[in-house]
Chain A
Amino acid sequence: MNETTPSTAAPLVRLIDEFHKLPGIGPKSAQRLAYYLLRMPPLEAQALAAAILEVKEKVGLCSVCQNVTEVEPCRVCSDERRDRSVVCVVEEPLDILALERAHAYPGLYHVLHGAISPMDGVGPEDLKVSELLQRLRSGEVREIVLATNPNLEGEATAMYLTRLLKPLGVKVTRLARGLPMGGDLEYADDVTLARALEGRQEM
């Protein structure tokens, strides 16, 4: 699996192999990381090992919004100050971090853990869609904000969810699509420009 010679100590080879499995880590990076760990003070290495184990033990999915959390329900879902009538649907937990950074959204979230991608065999059954429908049963939610990515998979997911949610009588909205900050009109594609024109606002 890696390019190390037989003279390399077996535990080190095992560590390199484990690093190699991580996304974005090639054989050389795996070796570098392994040798770095080897020279690390034992306490730091233990802290790293403990952190990895702790994440696996304590962090799970929130039963309400499906976000990753160490408390049940998660901090957002249990926060009394948040607007419980609005649920923002996102593809990944990292999207929530991005939205929270914007400090502009007061409601709750729902994480789908992916987007519909028929060509990759990812259908609605592979996403947390039934959990979302379950949440709507209480009648507390009045608006669903679809915040899936503005690409083909995200749009397909948004269209599919709209089809599913509209008949339930809940208001379904989609994040506006248009020109990004720091963008350049000249380079904008026609889909984005058309949407930006549609969504223009009076100054």
Chain B
Amino acid sequence: MAPPRLFKTEAIVLRQRRLGEADRFLTIYTPALGKLDVKARGVRKTTSRMAGHLQPLTRCMLQLVQGHGSDVITGCETLESFQRLREDLDRLSLALYAAELIDRITVERAGGYATYRLLLDTLRRLEHAPDADMALRCFEMRLMDESGFRPQLDACVNCGSQLQPDQNFFAPQAGGAVCRACVPGLAGPRALSLNALKVLRLLQRGSYNDIARVNMGPHLAGEVEGHLRSYIVCVLERDVRAAAFIERLRRERPSRPVEV
């Protein structure tokens, strides 16, 4: 059945690009249709009634009409604007990273409710969680799961033997953890400490409440982040641009105490 010409959907705005004189092209993520590219007309004029409702990282209710190429927004209303996220540059940079990651890993009109729910939960967590970085790690791991790139963390991806409770290695190109014996002959394996392996497993299987209780020191947090990042870069075959900004903010704020 052909979809109706005019339809309503909830959506989270991922990003926007300028288009023509006063329009914008938005990439949105919807619960039922997945990722969509839609046009918003006239939203760069100061008198636009829609502009404020369509900023990236806003959850809104949209009314769309099918256009020739892409759908056009004819009405919108904010449902959730994640105000605290917008007022904290560090949290904002993490949220932008999450939005970019979803945009890069999904294809248009594919994906669905699970990923939408994950994004929405993550934005709420990034807004309020004491350890926003951990919320982002959880998002990264779950998104890999949702998109079919779940890394193997139980047995060695190369030989299939059970991983020993010892130092192992993480090989993004092989698709997960590898045992010490399999390291020669693999591309780019990096040392994976036992604690990092435990955290990665927890991220993969634990509930968010359990994950949020974990208190990692900066060293371990850095190791877990590094492994996940290398895995994502390997899956995407490119870097996530927003990561550079997160790192820059961190570099420029070295004196601030580590948040617990």
A-side residues, CB < 8 A to B, are 24, 116, 118-121, 123-124, 151-152, 155-156, 159-160, 163-164, 180, 182-184, 187-192, 194
Contact = CB atoms under 8 A, between A and B. Distances in A.
B55 interface: yes
Interface in B48-107: 49-53, 55-57, 78, 81, 83, 86-87, 89, 92-93, 96-97, 99-100, 103
24 contacts: A24-B20, A118-B97, A118-B242, A119-B96, A119-B103, A121-B241, A121-B244, A123-B245, A123-B248, A152-B55, A152-B86, A156-B92, A156-B96, A159-B89, A160-B89, A160-B249, A163-B89, A163-B252, A163-B253, A182-B47, A183-B46, A188-B52, A191-B55, A192-B52
A183 B86 contact: no
Contacts, number: 72
B15 interface: yes
Interface in B6-38: 15, 20-21
Contact of B100 (A118, A151, A156, A160): A118
Interface of B: 15, 20-21, 46-47, 49-53, 55-57, 78, 81, 83, 86-87, 89, 92-93, 96-97, 99-100, 103, 241-242, 244-246, 248-249, 252-253
B242 A189 contact: no
A190 B83 CA distance: 9
Given A160-B89, A191-B81, A191-B83, A118 B52 contact: no
Question: Interface on chain B toward A: helix, strand, loop, or mixed SS?
Answer: helix
A155 to B, nearest CB: 6
Contact of B242 (A119, A163, A183): A119
Nearest to B89: A159
Contacts of B47: 180, 182-183
Given A159-B87, A189-B81, A191-B83, 13 more contacts: A119-B96, A121-B244, A123-B244, A123-B248, A151-B55, A155-B86, A159-B89, A159-B92, A160-B89, A160-B249, A190-B81, A191-B52, A191-B78
Task: List 3 A-B pairs, minimum CB-CB distance, nearest first.
Answer: A189-B52, A187-B49, A118-B245
A119 B16 CA distance: 10
Contacts of A123: 244-245, 248
For the residues of A in contact with B, the DSSP-based class is helix
B217 to A, nearest CB: 25
A119 B99 contact: yes
Contacts of B103: 119
A164 B249 CA distance: 11
Nearest to B78: A189
Contacts of A120: 241
B223 to A, nearest CB: 23
A194 B51 CA distance: 16
A121 B97 CA distance: 11
Nearest to A184: B49
Contact of A190 (B78, B99, B242): B78
A183 B48 CA distance: 8
Contacts of A118: 93, 96-97, 100, 241-242, 244-246
Contacts of A191: 52, 55, 78, 81, 83, 86
B29 to A, nearest CB: 14
B100 A124 contact: no
Contacts of A164: 252
Contacts of B246: 118
B178 to A, nearest CB: 32
Contacts of A152: 55-57, 86
Contacts of A163: 89, 252-253
Contacts of A151: 51, 55
A192 B252 CA distance: 30
A190 B249 CA distance: 28
A163 B249 CA distance: 10
A178 B252 CA distance: 31
Nearest to B83: A191
A120 B89 CA distance: 17
